[in-house]
Amino acid sequence: MMGRRISYRDAMREALREALQADPRVFLMGEDVGRYGGTYAVSKGLLEEFGPDRIRDTPLSELGFTGLGIGAALGGMRPIVEVMTVNFSLLALDPIVNTAAMLRHMSGGQFSVPVVIRMATGAGRQLAAQHSNSFEGWYAHVPGLRVLAPATVEDARGMLGPALADPDPVLIFEHAQLYNMEGEVPDQVQVDISSAMVRRAGTDVSLITYGGSLSKTLQAAEELAALGISAEVVDLRVLRPLDEATIMASVRKCRRVVVVDEAWRSGSLAAEVMARIMEQAFFDLDAPPARVCSEEVPIPYARHLEEAALPQAPKIVTAVRTLMGQPA
Name residue 238's amino acid.
Answer: V
Is the separation of the CB atoms in 281 and 246 below 8 Å?
no
pLDDT tens digits for 122-167?
999 999 999 999 999 999 999 999 999 999 999 999 999 999 999 9
Binning pLDDT at 50, 70 and 90, where does residue 35 land?
Answer: very high
How far is Cα 310 from Cα 313, in angstroms, rounded to an integer?
A: 10
Query: Partners of 258 in the beta sheet?
Result: 207, 290
> Average pLDDT for residues 74-79, to the nearest whole number?
97
- Strand duo 3-7 + 26-30: pairing: unpaired
Is the separation of the CB atoms in 263 and 239 below 8 Å?
no
Is the separation of the CB atoms in 311 and 213 below 8 Å?
yes
Please provide the average confidence, as pLDDT, over all residues in the chain.
Answer: 96
Name residue 121's amino acid.
Answer: T
**Contacts of 106 by beta carbon, 8 Å cutoff, 6+ apart:** none
| pLDDT beyond 60 at 1 | no
Q: What angle do CA 42, 236, 16 make, to 5 degrees?
A: 20
Domain chopping of the chain, boundaries: 3-186, 197-323
Q: What is the pTM of this model?
A: 0.97
Strand order across the beta sheet in which 55-57 lies: 55-57, 26-30, 78-85, 116-121, 170-175, 146-148, 238-240
E strands present in the chain: 3-7, 26-30, 55-57, 78-85, 116-121, 146-148, 170-175, 182-186, 197-200, 205-209, 231-235, 238-240, 257-264, 290-294
**CATH class of the domain comprising 3-186:** alpha beta
The domain made up of 197-323 has a fold known as: Rossmann fold (3.40.50)
- Give the single-character DSSP code of 255: S
**Contacts of 1 by beta carbon, 8 Å cutoff, 6+ apart:** 186, 187, 188
Catalytic residues: 62, 131
Say whether 51 sits in a helix, a strand or coil.
coil
